[in-house]
């Protein structure tokens, strides 16, 4: 059961169906697509109080509230979205979707390719952050929202918020970019490649056509998640949480460290609930995200078209997208004469910090969102 206090309560998934062909950045075409999404709070009559949440690598549309009374867990960002929470649903109308290529209801590799009658599998076209943003714009049009009060995202979600600011400057007043980077480093790509290789070398992968073969590369996906998970935590954070403690040690049996069973558990749960092709697709979208590529690798030039205010948040123990990566974004925004504020939050929880209710982090978000609401009412 989920705590009702400060919760958006029971929420219902909605579907946006687009029937026109959608041309992707790669040049490939989808004959149409569907996006599942949820909304929390009320859209005001001027339709000016909407906020878009962009999800990270393994996220989805279910960000807050519960689907049924007996749900064990609320949405993935329930601590942050709800009445009197940093993204206050008494003030804002929150839109949260599952990105194209996902495996939680939006069109993705597990869907049937209408041309072949078989699941897309690994034949699902490559999707980029730009494609996600342009499909999000179509959903936004469908909802009748001309301009978001804020587009907010952590990690890969923060990259989408940046892309919004660059590609659709007139359609958002604020971008909140959390624990992100202007592009991936070689080390970031290396970790993603190990994850993909683990999946692809699982004998059950069948070149990505495992659904047709009625199987799943569970082992590969599990390893991929375990690697990912290690990069989301910090050495200190892991040390504090697990140390060298042994798990359920029974005399005479081989012992296991707590961190081992934790990683196994995380990997198992993930491998049962996530699609391997989606994981490959999303990590590739991350790897190829580089908005400055078209602008002579000059981030200042890249961000020049933006009109919104920016809030850039990073976490001290994040080594996946360290504070320095956020500083690169801030430096470019200052050089481009954009309105930007930045906070570097002290935390021992590594990259995962962006999902946690850290007091200073939430105070920072609340202050910025309260100001956003105030400006909304002044205009």
Partner 1 sequence: MRADLELIADLVPPNSRLLDLGCGDGELLAHLKESKEVKGYGLDVDPNNIEKCLLKGVNVIEHDLDRGLASFSSDSFQIVVMTETLQSVKEPDQLLSEMLRIGEECIVSFPNFGNWRCRLQLGRGGMPVSKHLPNNWFDTPNIHLCTCADFERLCNDLKIVILEKKYVNSEHEQNALIQIAPNLLSAYAFYRLGRIQDV
* 351 is known as an active-site residue: yes
Indicate whether 238 belongs to the interface with partner 1 (CB under 8 A): no
Contact 108, 285 (CB under 8 A): no
Q: % helix / strand / coil in the chain, to the nearest 5?
A: 40, 15, 45
Residue from 241, 322, 344, 373 touching partner 1 (CB under 8 A): that is: 344
* 265 is known as an active-site residue: no
When the beta carbons of 84 and 374 are compared against partner 1, the nearer one is 374
Residue from 24, 180, 340, 355 touching partner 1 (CB under 8 A): that is: 340
| Helices and strands, number each (H, E), in the chain | 10, 14
Exposed / middle / buried, residue 322 (Cβ in 10 Å: 0-12, 13-18, 19+) = middle
Please give the DSSP secondary-structure letter assigned to residue 355.
G
Q: Which residue has the tokens 């790897």?
A: 287
Indicate whether 26 belongs to the interface with partner 1 (CB under 8 A): no
When the beta carbons of 6 and 341 are compared against partner 1, the nearer one is 341
Indicate whether 149 belongs to the interface with partner 1 (CB under 8 A): no
Q: What is the dihedral of CA 120, 121, 124, 126, to 10 degrees?
A: 180
Indicate whether 375 belongs to the interface with partner 1 (CB under 8 A): yes
- 3-state SS class at 346: coil
- State the catalytic residue, choosing from 88, 351, 352, 353: 351
When the beta carbons of 92 and 132 are compared against partner 1, the nearer one is 92
Angle, helices 129-142 vs 156-167, to 10°: value is 70
- State the catalytic residue, choosing from 155, 234, 271, 314: 155
Q: Which residue has the tokens 């494609």?
A: 131
Query: What is d(CA 344, CA 313) in angstroms, rounded to the nearest whole number?
Result: 6
Query: What is d(CA 262, CA 275) in angstroms, rounded to the nearest whole number?
Result: 21
Indicate whether 342 belongs to the interface with partner 1 (CB under 8 A): yes
Indicate whether 330 belongs to the interface with partner 1 (CB under 8 A): yes
Indicate whether 360 belongs to the interface with partner 1 (CB under 8 A): yes
Binding part of the chain for partner 1, among 47-55, 99-107, 202-210, 362-370 by CB under 8 A, reads 362-370
Residue from 25, 147, 264, 371 touching partner 1 (CB under 8 A): that is: 371
When the beta carbons of 71 and 328 are compared against partner 1, the nearer one is 328
Indicate whether 327 belongs to the interface with partner 1 (CB under 8 A): yes
Catalytic residue numbers read 155, 318, 351
Residues that bind partner 1 (CB under 8 A): 311, 327, 330-331, 334-335, 337, 339-344, 360, 363-364, 367-368, 370-371, 374-375
């Amino acid at each position: 059961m989920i705590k009702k206090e400060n919760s958006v309560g029971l929420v219902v998934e909605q579907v946006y169906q687009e029937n026109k062909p959608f041309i992707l950045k790669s040049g490939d075409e989808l004959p149409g697509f569907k996006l599942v999404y949820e909304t929390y709070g009320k859209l005001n009559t001027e339709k000016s109080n909407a906020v878009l949440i962009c999800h990270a690598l393994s996220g989805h549309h279910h960000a807050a509230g519960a689907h049924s009374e007996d749900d064990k867990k609320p949405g993935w960002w329930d601590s942050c979205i709800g009445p009197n929470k940093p993204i206050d649903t008494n003030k804002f109308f929150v839109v949260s979707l599952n990105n194209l290529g996902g495996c939680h209801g939006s069109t993705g590799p597990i869907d049937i390719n209408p041309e072949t009658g078989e699941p897309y599998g690994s034949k699902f076209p490559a999707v980029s952050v730009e494609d996600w943003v342009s499909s999000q714009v179509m959903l936004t049009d469908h909802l009748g929202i001309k301009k978001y009060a804020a587009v907010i995202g952590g990690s890969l979600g923060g990259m989408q918020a940046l892309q919004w600011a660059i590609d659709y400057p007139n359609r958002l007043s604020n971008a909140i970019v959390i624990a992100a980077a202007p592009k991936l480093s070689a080390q970031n790509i290396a970790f993603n490649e190990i994850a993909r290789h683990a999946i692809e070398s699982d004998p059950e992968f069948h070149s990505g056509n495992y659904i047709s073969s009625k199987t799943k590369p569970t082992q590969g996906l599990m390893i991929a998640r375990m690697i990912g998970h290690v990069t989301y935590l910090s050495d200190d954070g892991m040390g504090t949480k697990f140390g060298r403690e042994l798990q359920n040690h029974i005399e005479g049996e081989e012992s296991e460290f707590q961190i081992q069973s934790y990683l196994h558990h995380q990997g198992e749960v993930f491998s049962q609930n996530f699609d391997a092709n989606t994981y490959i697709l999303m990590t590739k979208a991350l790897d190829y995200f580089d908005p400055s590529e078209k602008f002579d690798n000059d981030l200042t030039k890249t961000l020049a078209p933006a009109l919104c205010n920016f809030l850039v948040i990073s976490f001290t123990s994040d080594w996946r997208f360290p504070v320095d990566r956020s500083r690169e974004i801030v430096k470019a925004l200052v050089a481009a004469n954009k309105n930007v504020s930045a906070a570097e939050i002290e935390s021992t929880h590594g990259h995962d910090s962006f999902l946690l209710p850290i007091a200073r982090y939430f105070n920072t978000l609340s202050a910025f969102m309260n100001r956003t609401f105030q400006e909304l009412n002044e205009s």
